[in-house]
Amino acid sequence: MKITDIKTFPIFHGSRNYLFVKVETDAGLYGLGEFGITWKEQAGIGAIEHMKRHIIGLDPLNTEYIWQLLFRADFFPGGRINAAAMSAIDIALWDIKGKALDQPVYMLLGGKMRERIFCYTGIGGKTPADSAHAGQQRVAEGWKYLRMSVDDRNGVLEPRTAVRDSIAHFAAVREAVGPEIEICIDCHTRLDPPDAIRLGRELEQYDPFFIEDPLRCENPQSYRHLRNHVSCPLAVGEHYATKWEFRQMIEEELLDYARIDLCIVGGLTEARKVANWCETHYIKIVPHNPLGPVSAAACAHLDIATDNFAVQEGGLVGRPVMEDLFPVQLPYEAGCLLLPDAPGLGIEFNEEAAASYEFKWLSGPQLRREDGSFTNW
């Protein structure tokens, strides 16, 4: 069996773009992947077009060889755009491998570790009472894990104000849902150490499951400083491409939960290595999944086969999207993804339906401080 083509499908749906990838073979089997860096889809298409010249004609079952080839063939190691392009191709190759062997991908990753995959869902509101009500609604629907965010006020993010607001919202949700429901809070890298320390210390009394991405990702040393002042569990890693960017965070145990993004880190091949590395440090994985049905499926297969799995970002769980494009998606019930039993990733793609979708040039949201300066979204 040989790879014959790699096709890209930039799709606008709802309020955002997605970039799906289809790897075709001479055996009639195809695999699906998804590019993970939102607002950089055209850059991803360019990277994939370049990479496919290296691998047309190769055996798609040789996933490790192809991964090394794509990462190292052009001498200069690729950055996050290249890693996300590799991720899409790699996930598609695992899909093909599962179909060729007539097995779900999780069986090729070690087999079934669990019967279902607990997920978390996002909540929020303009006031603490609104957030509390949203939390109660999700719990009534069956969700056991909730996630809140450190939010702006009408496009202005003043860190100390955002921290005060977050503490008030978190306290209200905890009181509303009780001690048995797990609550996470995502800072979206919006804070610097002084404000992150204040947030962590104030939230300790409300027992957060974790604080996610309190600091920017460029300087892991900052997490050592934060670690020395905060006892709340920390979840970090959605920005990291390849195992090397995770290295210091894992080896120095600067995180408690690894937020591996399969569509950025290097696909299932690389995510599995990071997860196994985390296991040696008793770090659990919480895969990042803000994307579409392919990303969700890839995450699910890793989750099923990984012992040190904690919880899955829900993303679109419970809300099937683009059902004309993906007529078969993963099964779910309240708060959980269920195990697929079809070969490969267990999803199907209607290429003809893709022609009805357009692509829109978009850029990410931008936040400002009160003085007009730029800050992280």
Q: Which of 85, 104, 123 is the last residue of a domain?
A: 104
Report the C-alpha gap between 275 and 277 in whole angstroms: 5
Best CA proximity match to 340, nearest among 291, 297, 292:
297
198 and 161 Cβ atoms separated by less than 8 Å: no
Are both 248 and 339 inside the same structural domain?
A: yes
Report the C-alpha gap between 183 and 134 in whole angstroms: 13
Considering just the CA atoms, what is the radius of gyration of the chain in Å? 20
Single out the catalytic residue among 50, 54, 133, 188.
188
pLDDT bracket for residue 376 (50, 70, 90): confident
Q: Determine whether 54 is an active site residue.
A: no
Please write the tens of the pLDDT for every residue from 72-120.
Answer: 988 888 899 999 999 999 999 999 999 999 999 999 999 999 999 999 9
Q: How many residues are recorded in the chain? A: 377
Whichever domain contains 61, its CATH number is: 3.30.390.10
Average pLDDT of the chain?
95
Could you tell me if residue 210 is inside a domain? Answer: yes
Does residue 308 surpass a pLDDT of 80?
yes
179 and 208 Cβ atoms separated by less than 8 Å: no
Are both 221 and 316 inside the same structural domain?
A: yes
Are both 258 and 120 inside the same structural domain?
A: yes
Could you tell me if residue 370 is inside a domain? Answer: no
What mean pLDDT comes out for the span 321-327?
93
pLDDT at 318: 64
Are both 87 and 100 inside the same structural domain?
A: yes
Are both 86 and 204 inside the same structural domain?
A: no
pLDDT bracket for residue 197 (50, 70, 90): very high
Q: 52 lies in which domain range?
A: 3-104
pLDDT bracket for residue 369 (50, 70, 90): very high
Could you tell me if residue 43 is inside a domain? Answer: yes
Whichever domain contains 153, its CATH number is: 3.20.20.120
Does residue 164 surpass a pLDDT of 90?
yes
Are both 189 and 251 inside the same structural domain?
A: yes
How does DSSP assign 129-184, residue by residue? HHHHHHHHHHHHHT--EEEEE---BTTB--HHHHHHHHHHHHHHHHHHH-TTSEEE
Could you tell me if residue 354 is inside a domain? Answer: no
Query: What tokens appear for 202 in the block?
Result: 């104030």
Does residue 44 surpass a pLDDT of 70?
yes
Are both 134 and 241 inside the same structural domain?
A: yes
103 burial level (CB within 10 Å; 0-12, 13-18, 19+): middle
Are both 113 and 96 inside the same structural domain?
A: no
Are both 166 and 63 inside the same structural domain?
A: no
Does residue 319 surpass a pLDDT of 90?
no
pLDDT bracket for residue 63 (50, 70, 90): very high
pLDDT bracket for residue 22 (50, 70, 90): very high
More confident residue, 77 or 189: 189
Rounded to an integer, what is the distance from CA 121 to the centroid of its chain? 13
Please write the tens of the pLDDT for every residue from 252-299.
Answer: 999 999 999 999 999 999 999 999 999 999 999 999 999 999 999 999
Are both 245 and 264 inside the same structural domain?
A: yes
Does residue 165 surpass a pLDDT of 80?
yes
Taking CB atoms within 8 Å and a gap of at least 24, the contacts of 354-357 are 354/9, 354/11, 354/20, 354/325, 356/324, 357/9, 357/11, 357/12, 357/13, 357/325
pLDDT at 91: 98
344 and 96 Cβ atoms separated by less than 8 Å: yes
Report the C-alpha gap between 36 and 240 in whole angstroms: 11
Q: Determine whether 188 is an active site residue.
A: yes
Are both 117 and 235 inside the same structural domain?
A: yes
pLDDT at 74: 82
Could you tell me if residue 228 is inside a domain? Answer: yes
Please write the tens of the pLDDT for every residue from 119-156.
Answer: 999 999 999 999 999 999 999 999 999 999 999 999 99
Q: pTM for the complete prediction? A: 0.97
* Total number of domains constituting the chain: 2
- DSSP state, 283? P
Single out the catalytic residue among 169, 239, 288, 301.
288
Best CA proximity match to 91, nearest among 36, 26, 49, 43:
36
Could you tell me if residue 307 is inside a domain? Answer: yes
pLDDT at 334: 82
Q: Where are the alpha helices (DSSP H) in the chain?
A: 41-55, 63-72, 80-101, 105-108, 128-141, 159-177, 193-203, 221-227, 242-251, 262-265, 267-279, 293-305, 351-354
Q: Which of 104, 136, 171 is the last residue of a domain?
A: 104
Are both 241 and 156 inside the same structural domain?
A: yes
Could you tell me if residue 364 is inside a domain? Answer: no
Could you tell me if residue 124 is inside a domain? Answer: yes
